[in-house]
Amino acid sequence: MTPDPQDPLPEGQWLFRRIFTWTFTAIQLGLFGWTIWRMPAADLQLVALWQLGLLALVVTYYLLAPSAPQLARIFAEIRGRLPFTRSPGDPS
């Protein structure tokens, strides 16, 4: 049996992740510069650190986030491990 060269399949919406992250990073860096320029020095440090933390979170999402098929497999596995499962006809 020959292994499939496309296994696992590449994520189809990777372009969206790139565009979202690059756009958000550019906007966040612009806001960061504006904040440094306009804010009083007493409040600047806390706000700047929160903005840098948010930017680091988004960049980490871009680099490490699983694809949609991987997320579906993860959630299906977690759902199967839960001790309580609803029956298909249960409305609650």
- Tens of pLDDT along 18-53? 788 789 889 988 988 888 888 888 888 888 888 888
| Res 77 pLDDT > 70 | yes
3-state secondary structure of 38: helix
28 vs 2, more confident = 28
> How many whole angstroms separate alpha carbon 63 and alpha carbon 16?
13
Residue type, 64: L
Whether residue 72 is predicted with pLDDT greater than 70 in this model: the reply is: yes
Which of 24-33, 63-72, 75-84: highest mean pLDDT?
24-33
pLDDT at 9 over 60: no
- Distance CA(84)–CA(26), nearest Å, equals 44
- Measured CA to CA, the distance from residue 55 to residue 21 in angstroms comes to 9
29 touches 55 (CB < 8 A): yes
**pLDDT at residue 89 tops 70:** no
Q: Is 79 helix (H, G, I), strand (E, B) or coil?
A: helix
